[in-house]
Each structure stands twice: as C-alpha cells, then as structure tokens.
Structure 1
Amino acid sequence: MTQPQHVQQQPSFMVPVITGAVFALLVISFFVFGADNPPAEWGKYWQIRPLIITPLAGAIGGTCYAFLNYQSNRGFNRTLAVILGLVIYFVGLWLGTVLGLAGTMWN
C-alpha cells in the first residue's frame, strides 16, 4: 500500500470574490437604507442601481485580490501583493460607490 502524498491545496478563488461583494453590499446598504425622505426626482426605485453596481465593483476588486494572491503563491512578493490588492479593492469600491450613487446621493 502506498502512502498518500501531501498535495498543497490552492486557495479557493471564490472566497475573496464573495467577501469583496458582501463587504461592498454592506457599505452601500449603510448609505442607501440610511436615506430618510429621498427627493421625488430620484424616482421610486432609486436604490436598485447602487445595490447592484457597488457589489459588482466589490466582486471585481475581490477578483483582483485573488489574482494577486495567486501570483504571490507563484513567486511574487507576498507583502506587495496584499498591499496592492487592498489598494485596488478600495479604489474599486470607491469608484463603484460613486458610480452607483451618481445622480442621487452623489450629485
């Protein structure tokens, strides 16, 4: 009988993507659901756009983070990959929030 070989398992790609999207949804929910008495010119369903756009931007930022994490496992500097991934994520989250709230809260 042969001994099982220890195979190093690659980290899951979807964990940072889902984490980024959920964190972005929490951030935008703070703004959207905290708006009391929105102006009538925003429309009846003004919350839909930010609640879709911002988590998508968070998921894309999480994808960039996962890619940089993958590259760090292949020899790229780990510290630089984490810092660069976080910077890309937060810039993308900010841009997604601005794009989602454009025309309503971000005017």
Structure 2
Amino acid sequence: MLIGAGVGLIIISIFLIGVNHPRPEWGQYWMIRPLVIVPLAGAAGGVFYYIMDFLRYRGGWRTALAYVVSVIGIIIGLWMGIVLGLVGTLWH
C-alpha cells in the first residue's frame, strides 16, 4: 500500500508542479483534492497487488497471469485516481 501511495504521490506531484498560475475559479486550496485522491488510489492498487499474491505462489502460467493482472490493476487504479483528482481543474 505504501509503495502504491508513494507512486501516486510522485505522479500527481509531477502534474501539479507545472501549474504556475492556477485559474481563480478553482479556489485557493484546489491542490488538496488531487494530493489526497491519487495516493489513495495508488494505495488501493497496492492492496489489489497484495490480494493477487495468492496466485503468484501457484507457479507456472498462473504466476505470469497474476503479475500481468496485478500491473494492469495498478495502472487502471492510478489512472482513475488521476482522473478523479484532476477533474474540474486541470482536466475539464
């Protein structure tokens, strides 16, 4: 969970550092929403990776399938977190 949350925090920080002049209609504390939602989505991706751990120990093709499904799950979770965190601000 911590690794997933850290990855999410790094990704969203890269997006937010580039904003020098935010629009006034976004409000004063507009950065709080993405800085909370995206690490939570990354943590959820980390939990999904951990839950898929039981398939990794079975060996053979199940191990490869578990890794592929886990990585796809983390990517989808982070993508959804970024979209939910930035909707209404950088992405409208």
TM-score grouping bracket, smaller chain normalisation: over 0.9
Who is 1:7 aligned against?
none
- Give the deviation of 1:36 after TM superposition: 1.1
TM-score (norm 2): 0.93
Which protein has the larger Cα radius of gyration, Structure 1 or Structure 2? 1
**1:30 correspondence with 2:14:** yes
Number of residues paired by the alignment? 90
- Give the deviation of 1:44 after TM superposition: 0.3
Mind listing any 5+ residue stretches in structure 1 that lack a counterpart? 1-16
Q: Distance in 2 between matches of 1:26 and 1:38?
A: 20
- State the percentage of identical aligned residues: 43
Alignment of 1:46-57 (within 5 A): 46-57=30-41
Does the aligned pair in 2 maintain the 1:69–1:78 contact within 8 Å? no
- Give the deviation of 1:61 after TM superposition: 0.5
Q: Which has the higher helix share?
A: 2
Deviations 1:38-73 (A, max 9, x none): 000000000000000000000000110111123322
TM superposition outliers: structure 1 runs of 4+ over 4 Å: none
Structure number with higher relative contact order (C-alpha < 8 Å, ≥ 6 residues apart) = 2
**1:67 correspondence with 2:67:** no
TM-score (norm 1): 0.80
Q: Distance in 2 between matches of 1:90 and 1:102?
A: 18
